[in-house]
Structure 1
Amino acid sequence: MKSLEIAQLLDLDSIVKIDEGVIGNNRRRAYIRNSIEDERCIVVKDMNHIVGFLIFDTRFFDCSFISLIIVKPTERRKGYATSLIEYFTSISPTLKIFSSTNKSNHEMQEVFKANGFIQSGFIENLDEDDPEIIYFKSI
């Protein structure tokens, strides 16, 4: 059974393990911990096991910005990213939500499109030869 909730500090190790499995290291541990402490991290659980998480911020030009959406690779294409986005949309403190992904990340682009986001611009020079696409959704 799937459930979504604001992450707690006791979830930190599980979240970092998922993140590490995707990026290959735990360099974002402090960032994830701070997000949990600030109640800006949402987890999705299946059978009481965390399978994904979303981290957001509300300081992007006074709008919400989804910084990370990470789903455990073995659990992808099961609707978890959509569940995280829908949950965040329901609790967003702002009427505008932004996010971004690399031009090379076609899977995430499809997730954004399927969830009503539209392209809102590009940022060059973050990753060499892989521009960042900015996405926008109005609530």
Structure 2
Amino acid sequence: MNAHDLRRLTVRAGSAHDADALAHFDSVARSDSGERRGSIERWCREGSVLVADAAPELVGYCVVEYTFFEQGFVTMLMVAEPLRGRGIGERLLRAAAASCLTTKLFASTNLSNHQMQRLLQRVGWRSVGMVHGLDDDDPEVFYLCAPRSR
């Protein structure tokens, strides 16, 4: 995908038909024993997925669920590895914020994931806390979407 293709990129609601394509570029789905693949299928079935569509291929996805204290939560943001850093994640996060059904939208990432932290900060999210113990020696940092970016 080149810069011209990025202008044609659309973000749309995902469907059950998208699960194979999402699992294909998801680095975790390619390497685990099927757990992520099962989650992708469930998210697609439940209508929780937004996909970045650079026809004829999907290049990213974002999952928003409402099980975090009954607020929106970005459960997953994944962009195909060779296409990271081109604005796809930003487009997905902005679409998630625009479509969120609750007054607050949260996300989290490991403290070691500097790329995701920079992305969240660049699009106006603010750090609101940290939880230790989810992953050994790598705390989870939580972010809240700024109201003005929603």
Q: Same fold (TM over 0.5)?
A: yes
Instruction: Pick from 44, 49, 58 the counterpart of residue 50 of structure 1.
Output: 58
After superposition, the CA RMSD in angstroms is 1.4
- Percent identity, please: 26
User: How far apart are the structure 2 equivalents of 1:20 and 1:102?
Assistant: 16
The residue type paired with residue 33 of structure 1 is E
> Any gaps of 5 or more consecutive residues in structure 1?
none
Letter of the aligned partner of 1:63 in structure 2? Q
- Structure 2: gaps spanning 5 or more residues: 1-7
Inter-partner Cα distance in structure 2 for 1:106 and 1:22: 22
Q: Which ranges of 4 or more aligned residues in structure 1 deviate by more than 3 Å?
A: 20-23
Show the counterpart of 2:27: 20
Q: Describe the SS at the equivalent of 2:138.
A: coil
Pairing partner for 2:39 from 25, 31, 34:
31
Of Structure 1 and Structure 2, the greater strand share is in 1
- Alpha-carbon displacement from aligned partner over 1:2-52 (angstroms, at most 9, x marks no partner): 011111111111101111367623421111111111110110011331000
Equivalences, count: 139
More helix by share: 2
Q: TM-score, normalised by structure 1?
A: 0.94
Is the 1:22–1:73 Cα contact (8 Å) retained in structure 2?
no
Structure 2 vs 1, CA of residues 131 and 64 (structure 1 numbering), >3 Å: closer, same or farther?
same
| Contact map agreement 1:95 1:138 (CA 8 A) in 2 | no
* Counterpart check, 1:5 vs 2:5: no
Cα displacement string for residues 42-64 of structure 1 (whole angstroms, at most 9, x for unaligned residues): 10011331000001111211210
1:16 maps to a residue whose letter is: A
What's the CA shift string for 1:65-110, capped at 9, x where partnerless? 0010000010111100000011111111012110100000000000
The aligned runs of 1:1-139 (5 Å cut-off) are: 1-20=8-27, 24-25=31-32, 26-139=34-147
State how far apart, in whole Å, the 1-side matches of 2:27 and 2:114 are: 21
